[in-house]
C-alpha cells in the first residue's frame, strides 16, 4: 500500500533523463525530475565537474552543500565533450536510451558536439529536449551566454 502511494506521486518512474549542465538551471530541473521519479544521469566535465562543486564548501571533505542539494539522487558520468569518441558515445546514448535531455550550456555549445535539440530529436522523435538558455531561442540576446538562477 505504501509503495503504491509513493509511486503515485512519482509519475516519472521509468523515465531516463540526461542532464548536460552546470551551476543552477539544469541541476535544479534535474532535481525536480528526479523527485518525480526519473532516473537522472548528470554529465560532468573531467577534473572540474560542475561549477557548483566549489560553492560554499561546508562539508568536512570540502564538498559543497549547494552542489549536494541540487544533485542528490542523481547518477553521474564524466564526459569530455571535446573528445569526439566521448561526445559520440553520449549522443548515441541519448538517442537510444534516454527519454529526456536537459541542458544549460552556452548557446551553440551542444550543437557543436552533435547534442543539440534538432539533431537528437530528428534521430529520436519521442525524446523531450529542454534548452535552459538565459535569453531564450529568439531575439537579440539569444546567442549570448547568461547566468541567472
Helices (H), 45-143: 65-71, 84-97, 109-112, 117-123
Q: Is the pLDDT of residue 5 over 70?
A: no
Asked if residues 34 and 48 have their Cβ atoms less than 8 Å apart, the reply is no
Q: Count how many domains the chain has.
A: 1
> 30 is in which domain, residue-wise?
2-131
Q: What is the CATH number of the domain that holds 91?
A: 3.40.50.10540
Quickly state the pLDDT bin for 1 (edges 50, 70, 90). low
Quickly state the pLDDT bin for 52 (edges 50, 70, 90). confident
- Predicted confidence at residue 141, as pLDDT, reads 86
- Predicted confidence at residue 69, as pLDDT, reads 84
Domain assignment present for residue 138? The answer is: no
- Predicted confidence at residue 47, as pLDDT, reads 86
Domain assignment present for residue 93? The answer is: yes
DSSP 64: B
Domain assignment present for residue 144? The answer is: no
Quickly state the pLDDT bin for 129 (edges 50, 70, 90). very high
Summarize the confidence of residues 28-32 as an average pLDDT. 94
What is the per-residue pLDDT across 81-121, written as a single tens digit (0 to 9) for each? Answer: 999 999 999 999 999 999 999 999 888 899 999 999 999 99
Return the CA Rg of the chain.
Answer: 16
Distance CA 114, CA 125 (A): 16
C-alpha cell at 101: 535531455
Closest by CA position to 80, among listed 89, 93, 67, 68: 89
H-run or E-run covering 29: helix 25-35
Amino acid at each position: 500500500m505504501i509503495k503504491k502511494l509513493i509511486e503515485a506521486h512519482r509519475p516519472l518512474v521509468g523515465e531516463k533523463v540526461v542532464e548536460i549542465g552546470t551551476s543552477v538551471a539544469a541541476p535544479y530541473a534535474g532535481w525536480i525530475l528526479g523527485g518525480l521519479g526519473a532516473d537522472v544521469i548528470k554529465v560532468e566535465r573531467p577534473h572540474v565537474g560542475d561549477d557548483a562543486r566549489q560553492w560554499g564548501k561546508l562539508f568536512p571533505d570540502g564538498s559543497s552543500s549547494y552542489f549536494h542539494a541540487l544533485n542528490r539522487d542523481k547518477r553521474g558520468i564524466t564526459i569530455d565533450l571535446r573528445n569526439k569518441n566521448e561526445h559520440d558515445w553520449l549522443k548515441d546514448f541519448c538517442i537510444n536510451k534516454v527519454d529526456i535531455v536537459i541542458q544549460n550550456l552556452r548557446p551553440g555549445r551542444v550543437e557543436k558536439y552533435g547534442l543539440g535539440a534538432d539533431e537528437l530529436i530528428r534521430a529520436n522523435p519521442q525524446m523531450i529536449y529542454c534548452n535552459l538558455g538565459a535569453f531564450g531561442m529568439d531575439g537579440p540576446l539569444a546567442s549570448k551566454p547568461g547566468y541567472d538562477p
